[in-house]
Amino acid sequence: MHAKSFGENNYRLYTDDLPVFVTADSVLHAWHRSFDAFLSDLETEFLARKLELVLRA
C-alpha cells in the first residue's frame, strides 16, 4: 500500500473491512499536521496584516 498519509491508509483499510490499529504516533501526526496548518493560516492571514500596519506606522 502506498498512501500519502496515515489517514488515507487507515481509510483504505477501513473500507476494505480490515482491522485498523490506531497508534499514538498516527494521532500525534494528525494533531501536528492540523496545528501546522492552523499556524500557517494564522501567520499569513493575521500576523502578516499586523506586520504591514506596524511597518507603515
pLDDT tens, position by position, 9-39: 889 999 999 998 888 988 898 899 999 999 9
Task: Using pLDDT thresholds of 50, 70 and 90, give the confidence band for residue 1.
Answer: low
pLDDT winner (highest mean) among 6-10, 31-35, 47-51: 31-35
pLDDT of residue 29: 87
Q: What is the DSSP letter of 24?
A: H
**Measuring CA to CA, how many Å separate 3 from each of 41, 51, 56?**
25, 39, 46
Report if pTM > 0.85: no
φ and ψ at residue 5, rounded to 5 degrees: -155, 165
